[in-house]
Structure 1
Amino acid sequence: MDLSRFKSDREAEDDGVWVALDGSENASVKLARIGNRRYRDAMQRRMKPFRRALRAGTLEEATAERITAEVLAETVLLDWRDLTLDGRALTYSPERALSLLLDPALRDFRDLIVEMASDIELYRQQDQEAAEKNLPPSSAGTSPGAKNRIS
């Protein structure tokens, strides 16, 4: 078995990849991989005050969900395009991402973000290289989004 199929693109894991949402032509999210270095550091930092409760199994579910949403908004859900809520366009900000991830009515959205950010295939080195080959040629100039990857 060739182990190169397990190689992941660490840059893609940390900086994120663009992923289309559920058959939408335009709506997409930029996701870093769950468990990336920033995610691990942020989770460890935020959970530190609750270690004793976590070990004892007494950490309240609401607290764990809030901390997880904060870490996801900070380190995983990095941007989006063409998202709306109740017909109104949503401009990305980490604060807006957190409010969506904490909203009980949008639990399925949060679960989708976690599921997609856990999909190791999105961050495979060979898949990233293939995606880059399929991108249209760039313009002569560079833009802030020039390093963004599309999957």
Structure 2
Amino acid sequence: MSIPLTFRLEPADDRRRPSRRHLRRVEDLPSAEPPPADEQPPAAAPRPVCQEQPEPPPASAIRRLALLAFEVVEGHRPIAQLGSLVSAEVIDALAERRRARVELRSMIRDRRRVVPTPGRPRLDRPLPNVIEGVVVLQAEPRCTAVAFRLEIRRDRWQATHLTVL
């Protein structure tokens, strides 16, 4: 014995008010008349003359900096050898990364020395006295990128930010 099921569909009783418009008309702006032809527009302030941009360091020096930073993080080179190439903040950051990397290598007992080959540096100059770039270091088990920012300090290029990824 089955009970027939019947459904009655009635239209829903919508008692909602029509929504108010959120947008309203804005008055037209008065049309601007062009200045007379004999009247000159105000002269713009003269732009400062750009000084000549300093020469960036050669690509071989940038590749060498990336390789030195990688060897410092791996624990194969003392941080003092970076000397005046990097700022004090970079030295602190590299020392922190080095401690973590050396601890990891001692825990997994990995004594291998990775000797990477630096690739071509990719450089950008966002400002005349700033160079940002990256060098990809290719090694057998993996590739590593070294990103850096060079700024002129005391008439020399110095790495103010450097990260071994």
Which has the larger strand fraction? 2
Shared fold (TM-score greater than 0.5)?
no
With normalisation by structure 1, the TM-score equals 0.27
Q: Say which structure, 1 or 2, has more relative contact order (CA 8 Å, 6+ apart).
A: 1
Which has the larger helix fraction? 1
With normalisation by structure 2, the TM-score equals 0.25
Q: Compare CA radii of gyration and give the structure with the larger one.
A: 2
